[in-house]
Amino acid sequence: MCGIFGIFDHLEASNHAYLGLYALQHRGQESTGIVSSDGKQLHHYRQMGLVSEVFTKDLLKKLSGRNAIGHVRYSTTGSSELKNAQPFVADYANGMISIAHNGNLTNAVPIRNKLESQGAIFQSNMDTEVIVHLIARSKEKTFLDRTIHALRQVEGAYSLLFLTGKEMVAARDPMGFRPLVLGSLKDSPVVASETCAFDLIGARWIREIEPGEVLLINDAGIKSFKPFPHKQLRQCIFEFIYFARPDSFIFNHNVYEMRKTFGAQLSKESPAVADMTIPIPDSGFPAALGYAAQSNLPFELGMIRNHYIGRTFIEPDQRIRHFGVKIKLNPVRGLLNEKKIVIVDDSIVRATTSRKIVGMFRNVGAREVHVRISSPPITDPCFFGIDTPKKSELIASSHKVKEIQKFIHATSLNYLSLEGLKKCVRGEEKNFCYACFTGDYPYPFQTEI
């Protein structure tokens, strides 16, 4: 998964790009980069690591100019290497061009094969690089038209920012898989994956960039284009379930409220006789609140999160049980003794963490541990930008709910139903992609021509 941010015509463009990426850090922690434009030249810096570790005052000063785009990345396609860090920068016949991409193209492989057969060379193994080649080969006259020409040839999920010497272009694929929002910082246009980036820099939210929309931002202002044929929307429901920050407003909804609704619906479908509701920090919080309110069970912070998780934690003695989770979470011992508890989390992937968490609660004396998951079972990998593991590693692809319940030693286990989930986005059911729960993909993923 990735996060992107752009700002146009602002005195402190790269400083604000830094802040915007900082707010979007949850969308990718592997690498980050910023490209700025001073009206003539592009300046860029990319590195593995967190935004706050990668950039220094000196580096930001070198990223001069009034326009900037930036990127945080957690690998989807492309291996975890510096060459795959974005924004991607290249030189072509019309000058320098830079691109930041959130999403995943499903026909990148056949396009790349064709380009290579025509003599193209590739520097990265990101799907994003094919877009740059398609732009460079386009015979259209303007950068905007070359970009549209290129995007007409690709399929899949893309929320994109382009930066050239004088222009910024924002684009969102016709199905609208990934969020992309438009705002303004005083008079300077800003674009970001989520509104939390606007909040940090004090920018004002204007609107979603619409699915299939291309925005051209330059000294003449902002112009909107809708160059692609209309398609049925397929916004990623998982952004609501887990990925986006709860304080963001995307797909025209407040994420926090949506998660609470999921929890409330889950409670309606799968109540439990218990003493309290406990969220798994921090992603399970809003759904647990919804569950607790709906079911009238006391909401308790029965699991505490350590705030000082280091990146280089040294593994001790293997005999200590549940270790990976233990350095992050610890149950509140006295609260739980002999209690029947409901724990609420957003999703289960491999179930190994859930198993450890249930074990930790049982260790401190919980008598019954009812697990409630505020999404349906994940049975299929995502080809549109979410970094789920392959199908064989998804426990729900091969195990029934009862089997998973047994594996994690839960007293009971219930997922939110797909119907329940759809009910929560009332009236917009058709506008979302549920492929990770159904395997029903809007596009096939092509690996060969």
Known catalytic residues are 2
> Tokens 């979470």, residue?
329
Please choose, out of 199-207, 396-404, 416-424, 439-447, the segment that lies near a second copy by the rule CB under 8 A. Answer: 199-207
Handedness of CA 387, 390, 391, 393 (dihedral sign): negative
Check residue 318 for interaction with a second copy (CB under 8 A).
no
Distance CA 263, CA 374 (A): 6
Please choose, out of 154-162, 215-223, 267-275, 324-332, the segment that lies near a second copy by the rule CB under 8 A. Answer: 324-332
* Residue at 66: amino acid letter: R
Cβ partners under 8 Å of residue 197, min gap 6: 3, 5, 19, 20, 21, 23, 24, 190, 203
Q: Which of 90, 109, 349, 418 binds a second copy (CB under 8 A)?
A: 90
Instruction: Give, as ranges, the residues between 252 and 271 that touch a second copy (CB under 8 A).
Output: 254, 256-257
- CB–CB of 290/262 below 8 Å? yes
Distance CA 4, CA 35 (A): 12
Q: Which of 199, 269, 428, 429 binds a second copy (CB under 8 A)?
A: 199
Distance CA 180, CA 194 (A): 7
Cβ partners under 8 Å of residue 116, min gap 6: 122
Check residue 50 for interaction with a second copy (CB under 8 A).
yes
Check residue 201 for interaction with a second copy (CB under 8 A).
yes
Exposure class string for 104-126: b at 16+ Cβ within 10 A, else e: bbbbbbebbeebeeeeeeeebeb
Cβ partners under 8 Å of residue 254, min gap 6: none
- Considering the complex, state which of residue 283 and residue 414 has its C-beta at the smaller distance from a second copy: 283
Please choose, out of 280-288, 367-375, 377-385, 418-426, the segment that lies near a second copy by the rule CB under 8 A. Answer: 280-288
In angstroms, what is the minimal distance from the CB of 208 to a second copy? 14
- Considering the complex, state which of residue 115 and residue 217 has its C-beta at the smaller distance from a second copy: 115
Residue 197 structure tokens: 């980036």
Please choose, out of 147-155, 161-169, 193-201, 261-269, the segment that lies near a second copy by the rule CB under 8 A. Answer: 193-201
Instruction: Give, as ranges, the residues between 355 and 394 that touch a second copy (CB under 8 A).
Output: none
In angstroms, what is the minimal distance from the CB of 397 to a second copy? 29
- CB–CB of 378/338 below 8 Å? no
Instruction: Give, as ranges, the residues between 119 and 148 that touch a second copy (CB under 8 A).
Output: 119-123, 125, 132-133, 136-138
CA angle, residues 414, 393, 1, in degrees to nearest 5: 90
E strands present in 287-365? 303-305, 329-331, 340-345
Q: Which of 219, 230, 314, 448 binds a second copy (CB under 8 A)?
A: 314
In angstroms, what is the minimal distance from the CB of 76 to a second copy? 18
- CB–CB of 372/270 below 8 Å? yes
Instruction: Give, as ranges, the residues between 210 and 229 that touch a second copy (CB under 8 A).
Output: none
* Residue at 163: amino acid letter: L
Check residue 98 for interaction with a second copy (CB under 8 A).
no
Q: Which of 117, 141, 220, 230 binds a second copy (CB under 8 A)?
A: 117
Check residue 93 for interaction with a second copy (CB under 8 A).
yes
- CB–CB of 91/61 below 8 Å? no
In angstroms, what is the minimal distance from the CB of 64 to a second copy? 15
Instruction: Give, as ranges, the residues between 233 and 252 that touch a second copy (CB under 8 A).
Output: 245-247, 249
> Tokens 């969220």, residue?
279
Please choose, out of 148-156, 174-182, 206-214, 316-324, the segment that lies near a second copy by the rule CB under 8 A. Answer: 316-324
Instruction: Give, as ranges, the residues between 63 and 82 that touch a second copy (CB under 8 A).
Output: 82
Check residue 424 for interaction with a second copy (CB under 8 A).
no
Q: Which of 335, 342, 421, 425 binds a second copy (CB under 8 A)?
A: 335
Q: Give first-to-last CA distance, the chain, whole Å.
A: 26
Cβ partners under 8 Å of residue 16, min gap 6: 7, 10, 68, 185, 190, 201
In angstroms, what is the minimal distance from the CB of 297 to a second copy? 12
Q: Which of 219, 282, 338, 440 binds a second copy (CB under 8 A)?
A: 282
Q: Which of 141, 207, 230, 311 binds a second copy (CB under 8 A)?
A: 311
H or E, element range at 62: helix 57-62
- Considering the complex, state which of residue 230 and residue 426 has its C-beta at the smaller distance from a second copy: 426
Binding mask 8-37 for a second copy (x = CB under 8 A): ----x--xx-xx--xx-xx--x--------
In angstroms, what is the minimal distance from the CB of 167 to a second copy? 17
